[in-house]
Structure 1
Amino acid sequence: MSHPIIDNALGAVGNTPLVRLDKVAAQFGLKCNLLAKLEFLSVGGSIKDRIAKAMIEAAEKEGKLIPGQSVVIEPTSGNTGIGMALACAIKGYRCIITLPNKMSLEKEAALRALGAEVVRTPTEAAWDSSESHIGVAKKLQRRIPGGIILDQYRNVNNPLIHEMATGPEIIDAIAATPSTPARPSSGKVDVVIAGAGTGGTITGVSRAMKKVHNKECIIVGVDPKGSILAVPEELNTADNGSMYVVEGIGYDFIPDVLSRDAADVDSWIKTGDEESFAAVRVLMRSEGLLVGGSSGSALCGAQKWFKTEAGQKVAQTEGKNVVIILADGIRNYMSKPWFLSMALEAEPSELAASIADIMKD
């Protein structure tokens, strides 16, 4: 199918495909349909392109952004910043991104390539500290003329864009795919599994599903060990305050845009770094999907949820549609030790041994 010419790169935000994970489903022993929303195919490389575009365009409509004067300042783990910097490059706003030290060099490089200024902050700084990425952003806003923080943690347009776009895209893709004897389908979204960072994705997608599509849709949130977003609070106790490597999900505070109400998120799963990175390898080697660490967390969370009572029932029901949101790609993590170890230090295959023998001749 041909596509019309778009006016600029912002027209290539979102509208990402839903793809079957049949090989992974077979490995997990699933009878349900396991589907993935490939957000790394958005123009800036992540699901955060959506909220960056939405927040900037809403601020323009409200008169909060003034061409030639406004400086967009945003505290971020990186992907929202890239979406912001991309939009600012197109629209002509100056951009400053505050970024914790743990976030990858690739993220900083991409931000600077798009013309943004980047300020690194201590990873260990508490969110409400003046030294945190949030505290530094507020300091810069006070001092820089025209500075404005659109604030993904509190901005209603964060969950709203997922309610109005991301969720409906998933619904439309499933509704447009007929059920067949070979590939049975319930015709609706039965489960959505997603990592939680700001919480905008899981909150907005949940509302899209439960309000108008399928009130019985099960929403599963995935939260890294060391974060405090999961409910009930006891899930966070064992690893509270511990550092984790995976980027883009989890926080040491509860963002305003995240709904932890059981009416919105039915269940929470905690995941660790090593098992998340192992799941990244499964997605790469089995499905050819070059995803980032938080996507591994989402798959790991799905695997754990399928072992619960509710998950087992869904797993063994043909036609049930389970959607995993894969938030970003591997581009931003290729210098990270966890990826280099996985890619370059894996045990050699039988084919590698054959190649070595041939090259000896």
Structure 2
Amino acid sequence: MTATAPLPPAPLTRALDLIGNTPLVRLEGPSAAAGCDIYGKCEFANPGGSVKDRAALWIIRDAEARGVLKPGGTVVEGTAGNTGIGIALVANALGYKTVIVMPDNQSREKMDTLRALGAELVLVPPTKFANPGHFVHTSRRLAEETEGAVWANQFDNIANRKAHIDSTAPELWSQLDGRIDGFTCAAGTGGTIAGVGLGLKEKDENVRIALTDPHGAALYNYYAHGELEAEGSSVAEGIGQGRITANLDGAPVDTQFRISDEEGLHWVARLLREEGLCLGLSSGINVAGAVALGRQLVAEGREAPRVATILCDSGFRYLSTIFNADWLCEKSLPVFDWLAD
């Protein structure tokens, strides 16, 4: 008897339904390194190319439901880029304008994408959160000064983490047939790790939730020692946090790992050369954290543990940075061997 191919899914009724329901893939190299199954949620498959599409949709729908975003209005946000891209696409689909404030040290690809999507892009110098010129504070002021505008406020708007409670966590649970031992990712706003953590803990309290923190962020020390203290630095975009945002408040973090840029780039290189996945540095850092979590669970004697993480966005968004030999040399980071040649 000849096997028949499965039928393709029915067509969706609108483009915004493309957000979410992303594939989950077993990562061969990380699984071998951890001694257990490591899975990556392919968030680069969202229409805006990143995990931040989920937060963008939930934040805008929440603003509509609360009556603060009216037809023809404007959504203003401060972002490292990916949330802005998601907001611009969702806003376009729903008839809103977009103003995005971004630090001027983020990748050129993100800036060009935002302009191509029709967003008004405002670039500001990178600075500490305490500085009133910080991109978050600048975006809040612009929203207050713009008629008919709402401030998305992704860091402290818990519609962000609700996106992952409602969608990412149940998707992972279903895709892994209700058997998942650990989940880890880095925190930027905190929406993903808090939302997925809360959603998975509702299903099974024994799922271990781990923070994977880059150097230069303060959350590793917070969860390990109770103090917000940063050490070192990282060039990773969109992750790393120095405060407990509203989205992070109450996040069920059981353990924590600190991952260097070098280790993250190691996995970026391996996943590209060995598995055909072109990813950004935040994804590489997440995968390194997943390997660490998997090894921890194996060492504790868990039988064939399964660990999931987030593949945040595509490496094509970083051609001018981590895939540029001159840029890597300027940052004193290792150059991928194929770029060195």
The TM-score, its normalising length taken from structure 1, stands at: 0.84
Structure of larger gyration radius: 1
Counterparts in 2 of 1:72 and 1:142: CA distance versus 1, 3 Å = same
Alpha-carbon separation, structure 1, partners of 2:100 and 2:230: 32
Trace 1:248-267 onto structure 2 (pairs within 5 A).
248-259=238-249, 264-267=252-255
Does 2:196 correspond to 1:205?
A: yes
Q: Are 2:290 and 2:308, in contact at CA under 8 Å, matched by a contact in 1? A: no
Trace 1:237-248 onto structure 2 (pairs within 5 A).
237=229, 239=231, 242-248=232-238
The offset of 1:344, in angstroms, is: 7.1
Does 2:266 correspond to 1:317?
A: no
Counterparts in 2 of 1:18 and 1:149: CA distance versus 1, 3 Å = same
The offset of 1:203, in angstroms, is: 0.7
Alpha-carbon separation, structure 2, partners of 1:237 and 1:59: 34
Residue matched to 1:38: 42
What secondary structure does 2:249 align onto? coil
Alpha-carbon separation, structure 2, partners of 1:67 and 1:134: 24
Residue matched to 2:320: 335
Q: 2:283 aligns with which of 290, 295, 309?
A: 295
The offset of 1:128, in angstroms, is: 3.1
Residue matched to 1:152: 154
Q: Are 1:82 and 1:110, in contact at CA under 8 Å, matched by a contact in 2? A: yes
Does 2:98 correspond to 1:108?
A: no
Residue matched to 2:181: 190
Residue matched to 2:328: none
Backbone CA RMSD of aligned residues: 2.0
Residue matched to 2:3: none
Alpha-carbon separation, structure 2, partners of 1:148 and 1:190: 39
Q: Are 1:40 and 1:47, in contact at CA under 8 Å, matched by a contact in 2? A: yes
Counterparts in 2 of 1:311 and 1:74: CA distance versus 1, 3 Å = farther
Match of 1:144, as an amino acid? T
Percent of pairs identical after alignment? 35
Q: Are 1:192 and 1:323, in contact at CA under 8 Å, matched by a contact in 2? A: yes
Trace 1:44-193 onto structure 2 (pairs within 5 A).
44-68=48-72, 70-123=73-126, 125-175=127-177, 187-193=178-184
Q: 2:258 aligns with which of 240, 247, 270?
A: 270
The offset of 1:11, in angstroms, is: 1.3
Match of 1:285, as an amino acid? R
Q: Are 1:225 and 1:236, in contact at CA under 8 Å, matched by a contact in 2? A: no
The offset of 1:194, in angstroms, is: 1.1
Match of 1:100, as an amino acid? P
Q: 1:17 aligns with which of 5, 23, 45?
A: 23
Counterparts in 2 of 1:238 and 1:114: CA distance versus 1, 3 Å = closer
Unmatched tracts of structure 2, length 5 or more: 1-6, 326-334
Residue matched to 2:268: 280
Q: Are 1:127 and 1:253, in contact at CA under 8 Å, matched by a contact in 2? A: no
Match of 1:78, as an amino acid? G
Alpha-carbon separation, structure 1, partners of 2:228 and 2:155: 20
Alpha-carbon separation, structure 1, partners of 2:208 and 2:39: 15
What secondary structure does 1:339 align onto? coil
The offset of 1:89, in angstroms, is: 1.2
Counterparts in 2 of 1:168 and 1:141: CA distance versus 1, 3 Å = same
What secondary structure does 1:138 align onto? helix
Q: Are 2:58 and 2:159, in contact at CA under 8 Å, matched by a contact in 1? A: yes
Q: Are 1:34 and 1:322, in contact at CA under 8 Å, matched by a contact in 2? A: yes
What secondary structure does 1:196 align onto? coil
Q: Are 1:152 and 1:198, in contact at CA under 8 Å, matched by a contact in 2? A: yes
The offset of 1:303, in angstroms, is: 2.9
Residue matched to 2:14: 8
Q: Are 2:228 and 2:242, in contact at CA under 8 Å, matched by a contact in 1? A: no
Residue matched to 2:224: 232
Q: Deviations over 1:167-212 (max 9, x none)?
A: 000111111xxxxxxxxxxx5111111111111111111111111x
The offset of 1:33, in angstroms, is: 1.6
Q: Are 1:104 and 1:333, in contact at CA under 8 Å, matched by a contact in 2? A: yes
Match of 2:31, as an amino acid? A
What secondary structure does 1:34 align onto? strand
What secondary structure does 2:118 align onto? coil
Match of 1:216, as an amino acid? N
Counterparts in 2 of 1:128 and 1:225: CA distance versus 1, 3 Å = same
Counterparts in 2 of 1:34 and 1:120: CA distance versus 1, 3 Å = same
What secondary structure does 2:10 align onto? coil
Q: Deviations over 1:38-68 (max 9, x none)?
A: 1101111011000100111111122111112
